[in-house]
A = this chain, B = another copy of it.
């Protein structure tokens, strides 16, 4: 008898029919002799409905009350799913985040889980009940309702799996696993049976939106076995493993891309210590997140400095950079918000020079100009004009024979 934590996202519980469908899936697991803890999100659309009400109420953001408001979304789902389970003859009991109790810090709207009291959950499981828990929410030490921020239900699932020492945490979503790349762009893209934790982290951070990156980090910290699978189709999904990778064996597991990037360049900056801080400090101070950073070697005692930001922050970043440029006496500021980042992900690839040259050669053959290059232990990222996105991804998918590999 295994203890399984299952997490169902907003689309999976989007309406009455889908909640009944989830109840059937959960009951099936239960009837196979497993103990099941279910974590659910708000019904899709509900969080946005509540946010709209809040916006109509005040232009100022009220973080504490926003959490009181938003947490009702999952509370509705836990009650409805528990009703559906009991309707199928499965004893079930719901818990809000505060009831479990999922203790968080007091950072409203983006709280972090500090502790979970799993005692009542275990007692219910031992009495044969299915336990249904509201994702995304918790309570601080003063009893205030908190939320973990968007996508936080994944983190709730993983944290509960860790606290309960569950055999597996299953993340149910609207795709049936992690793919070598986005099947909408490469129809031949293949579902991976397994992916390592580090690779998943890169895939998630690079725009593969199957699972929240915070949840993956959390899973890694507590070695929680994770599985991503579909609420709507049968199948085994993709398991995220913690096996030691064989670094000698180069493995390209997939191609991730991010269409939300924009790049900014400041040219002819006098090259002196602290210049990077002077350029990026004001950007960070404006709460703009910086992704890639590249500085070329200095020529004639000046240097060129390029970085990428989210496309939504492009105009604001350009404005700030112009002020910095004037104060530093740089030559020129330029930018481009029609670029994309494409990344090859795989354990051990950095130590294998052949991978990078094969990647660059493939793109050169398609006459795709590389605007930026950046590498890490397990990925190589390039920035190209957005019009080349599909061409580049398909060419790389072919070149690395990703559709053909039986196993990573």
Residue of B nearest to A92 (CB): B65
Q: A80-B69, A99-B143 are in contact. Are A19 and B57 (CB under 8 A)?
A: yes
Q: A53-B76, A76-B53 are in contact. Are A68 and B94 (CB under 8 A)?
A: yes
Contact call A75/B68, Cβ cutoff below 8 A: yes
A98 within 8 A of B: yes
A325 within 8 A of B: no
Contact call B53/A66, Cβ cutoff below 8 A: no
Residue of B nearest to A16 (CB): B56
Which residue of B19, B58, B76, B93 contacts A83 across the interface (Cβ within 8 Å)? B58
Give 1 or 0 for each of A28-67: 1 = CB within 8 Å of chain B CB: 0000000000000000000000100110111110101110
Residue of B nearest to A139 (CB): B99
Q: A76-B72, A79-B69, A93-B64 are in contact. Are A57 and B98 (CB under 8 A)?
A: no
Q: Please name 28 pairs of A and B residues whose Cβ atoms are closer than 8 Å in the assembled complex, sorted by A.
A: A16-B57, A53-B76, A53-B80, A54-B83, A57-B84, A58-B86, A58-B87, A59-B87, A60-B86, A60-B87, A62-B82, A64-B82, A65-B79, A65-B82, A65-B83, A66-B79, A66-B83, A68-B75, A68-B78, A68-B79, A68-B94, A68-B96, A69-B76, A69-B83, A71-B75, A72-B72, A72-B75, A75-B75
Other A-B pairs, 17, CB within 8 Å; known A16-B53, A59-B87, A68-B79: A19-B57, A20-B57, A54-B80, A57-B80, A57-B87, A58-B84, A60-B87, A62-B82, A64-B93, A65-B78, A65-B80, A68-B78, A68-B82, A71-B75, A72-B72, A72-B76, A99-B143
